[in-house]
Amino acid sequence: MAKTNKVTVTEKNAGQKIDFEQSGTRLIFGDDEIMLNAAKYQKDWDVEVDICRDKSGNLTIGTGSGLRYVAQVMIPAATYTETEIPAEETAEAPAAEDEAEGSDSVNQKTTVQRDKNPLDMGDVTVILWSIE
């Protein structure tokens, strides 16, 4: 199994912070109150996930019912590895200008295969806010 890097942690302000642990690409906040799989949230653009506490004291994802920030998870845009794949040769008739030049070239098109790279948790930042 591949080694998973630890997230970068930033403390936004002074005071007690929520406990969290990292397990692979998963971040578990509080006493197993809420789990976020950062790899599932990663898109082709940077993603910011807000973890808040609502008026009942429960953790929520998003600010809709949240009263106070607890943490923000900053997930970088996905990266890709591109591999050129040569096209199979097709025996199409040459274009008129090729015939004029006496060329016997074959039409070929190259495609590019894009494979999403695994999320490097070392590129993820968890910003912790005071819970006091």
Instruction: Choose among 71, 76, 77: nearest CA to 21.
Output: 71
pLDDT at residue 16 in the model: 95
pTM across the whole model: 0.78
Along the 132 residues of the chain, how does pLDDT read in single tens digits?
467 899 999 999 999 999 999 999 999 999 999 999 999 999 999 999 999 999 999 999 998 887 899 999 999 999 999 898 887 765 555 555 555 555 445 567 888 889 999 999 999 999 999 998
* pLDDT at res. 91: 54
- Specify the pairing of strand 66-75 against strand 125-128: antiparallel
